[in-house]
Amino acid sequence: MRLGVLFSGGKDSTYAAYLAQQHGHELACLITLVSENPDSFMFHTPTIAVTAAQAALMRLPHLQVATRGEEEREIQDLQKALAQAEVDGIVTGAVGSVYQATRIQRVCHELGLHVFNPLWQKDQLELLDELINEGFEVIVSAVAAYPLDKHWVGRRIDEAFIKDVRLLQEQHHINPAGEGGEFETLVINCPLFSKPLVLGETVVRGAGNSFRLEVRNAPH
C-alpha cells in the first residue's frame, strides 16, 4: 500500500514509519500538522520545524498543513491535510491515546483511508528498548512534568535514560515513553535517514518543570 505518515519528527511516528516500510509498504509522503497552539490536544509541537529537514533526509515529500490547534477544529484541519495526500492509507505513532486514535480513525473512515497504528498498546519500556536495538538515535526535545527539568532536554534515549525513566515511573508515575506528554522527542538518526540530522545552534527555554529545545538556525 502507498502510505502517508502522520509525522511529528518524534520517536513514535518515525518508528511507526520504519515498521511500515519493513512490512513492505511504500512510504509515499510525510504529513505534518503544524499547530499554533503549544498545548495542542492532537499534535506534537516542539521542534516541529525540524520535520522538513528530517523529510529531506528520508527523501520523502513533506506535506505541512497549518492548524490553530483548537480542539475539534484541528480534526477538520487533519481531514483537509489527509484529503490532499494521494495515499491508500496512513500510518501513525499512536501508542495509547484513545482520544487521538479515535479521532484519526473517524477522519480516515470518512475519507476511505486505511489506518495503521503499529505501536498501538505497546509496552512503553519495550518500545524504548526496540528503538535502541533498531539503531534509532533520539533526544528529548521538551519536558512538561515534575520532576523533569531542563537537564533532561537534549538527553539521548539510551540504556541509562531507560534506567532513569523506569525509576521515575515507579516514584512519580511518569510514563516511560512520554505518552502522557511528560516529554517529547526528536529523532536525530535512524535507518530511514540518509545521514544524521545536524541541528546546529540550539537553546533550551522554559521554567519550572516545562522546558523545550529551540533550534536557532536551519537544521540539515
Partner 1 sequence: MLLISTCAEALHELEFVTPVERIVRGAGHVTTVRHVTAVSADDLASAEGIVICGTSLKDNDFLRTDCSWLTTITVPVLGICAGMHLIGLAHGGTLNNAVEIGLQTVSFTDFLGLNGPTDVFSLHTSYIDFTKLNSFRVHTTGGVPQAVAHRHRPLYGVLFHPEVRRHELLTAFCARVQKQ
Residues within the interface to partner 1 (CB under 8 A): 1, 19-20, 23, 25, 89, 98, 102, 105-106, 108-109, 112-123
Query: Sheet harboring 210-215: ordered strands across?
Result: 183-189, 137-144, 210-215, 202-207
Report the DSSP beta bridge partners of residue 107: none
> Where would I find the H helices in the chain?
11-22, 51-58, 73-84, 98-111, 124-133, 159-172
Q: What are the φ and ψ backbone dihedral angles of 31, each rounded to 5 degrees?
A: -120, 120
Report the residue number, 130 or 149, with the smaller CB distance to partner 1. Answer: 130
Least CB distance to partner 1 at residue 109 (A): 6
Q: Cβ neighbours of residue 206 under 8 Å, at least 6 residues apart?
A: 143, 150, 153, 212
Which is closer to partner 1, CB of 23 or CB of 173?
23
Q: Which is nearer to partner 1, 112 or 207 (CB)?
A: 112
The least CB distance from residue 82 to partner 1, in Å, is 14
Q: How far is the CB of 13 from partner 1 (least distance, A)?
A: 15
Q: How near is the Cβ of 111 to partner 1 at its closest, in Å?
A: 11
Q: Could you tell me the smallest distance in angstroms from the CB atom of residue 123 to partner 1?
A: 7
Residue 128 vs 142, nearer CB to partner 1? 128
State how far the Cα of 58 lies from the Cα of 45, in Å rounded to an integer. 20
d(CA 129, CA 125): 6
Work out the angle at residue 131's Cα, subtended by the Cα atoms of residues 206 and 210, and round it to the nearest 5 degrees: 10
Cβ nearer to partner 1, comparing 19 with 65:
19
